Amino acid sequence: MSSKRVAVITGGSKGIGKAIALKLASLQETHICIVSRSEENLKNAILEIQNVSSLDHIFIACDVSSPGSEKEVFEAVIQKFGRVDILVNNSGGPPPGSFLEKSELDWNMAIANNLMSVIRFSKYIAPFFIQQKWGRILNITSTLAKEPSPSMVLSASVRAGVSAFTKAIAEELAIYNITVNTICPGSVLTERLDSLVSEVAERKQISREEQLEKSQSVIPMKRFASPSELAEVGAFLVSDAASYITGQSLMVDGGLTKSYF
């Protein structure tokens, strides 16, 4: 069994998930297992991770929305490292659109990918965390959980579900020195955000650059976040330094969210 901590990061081949993996790996204290659907993206990401860390790291290609994927992932990680200490639940959000446009299949896919995956992965690993009297579960969602948008109704609904789930299980697991928190990013400059900006620009029949400027203008800091800024927050929340923070959904959005509670 490794004496170092072990982190499993879903959606770890790109964007915020990869940034958190790189940050944790660079500290030289944690073995990383990144998970996503694309083996090609995983191979590229693991090379980046190995470039910043001398520890051993692995990847597993699977679809986290599929029941049983959590068992596949954790069995492989425990066989390799003998333990798991940190779970980061991170998966790309569902596509935009009004609830009037969305089918029941759309809803089921969003729930499976962005809510049930969090529930399944957390439920599977919780007994291991309880046994070792230490664990960190960190969920990555969106500010939509607090301030929903009609054009992002799928994401808003499932993200709010994750925040409620976070609060509920955090209370149950706190006695075992296990923390459960959620980061709710605003706009982060990832490939997914760039794609969404392009889609909106096309619908409005304006240029991508014009839509990019409009999107950033409503943020008090007048810019999008970088994935590395979210990674700094994530690395803190899964560390010993954050041992008294649990059950929280933290807005990391450059001041975009208007609500103060």
Locate 106 and state its tokens.
């759309």
Q: What is the pLDDT of residues 184-229, one digit of tens each?
A: 999 898 887 888 888 888 889 999 889 889 889 999 999 999 999 9
Q: Looking at the structure, do residues 32 and 82 belong to the same domain, yes or no?
A: yes
Q: Looking at the structure, do residues 9 and 138 belong to the same domain, yes or no?
A: yes
What is the structure's pLDDT at 226? 95
Q: Looking at the structure, do residues 104 and 178 belong to the same domain, yes or no?
A: yes
Q: Give a yes or no: residue 257 inside a domain.
A: no
Q: Give a yes or no: residue 203 inside a domain.
A: yes
What is the structure's pLDDT at 92? 87
In angstroms, rounded to a whole number, what is the distance separating the alpha carbons of residues 189 and 228? 10
Q: Compute the C-alpha angle 69/61/240, nearest 5°.
A: 75
Q: Give a yes or no: residue 261 inside a domain.
A: no
pTM confidence score: 0.95
What residue numbers bound the domain in which 206 lies?
189-224
Q: How many domains does the chain have?
A: 2
CATH number of the domain where residue 66 is located: 3.40.50.720
Q: If DSSP codes are grouped into helix, strand and coil, which group holds residue 92?
A: coil
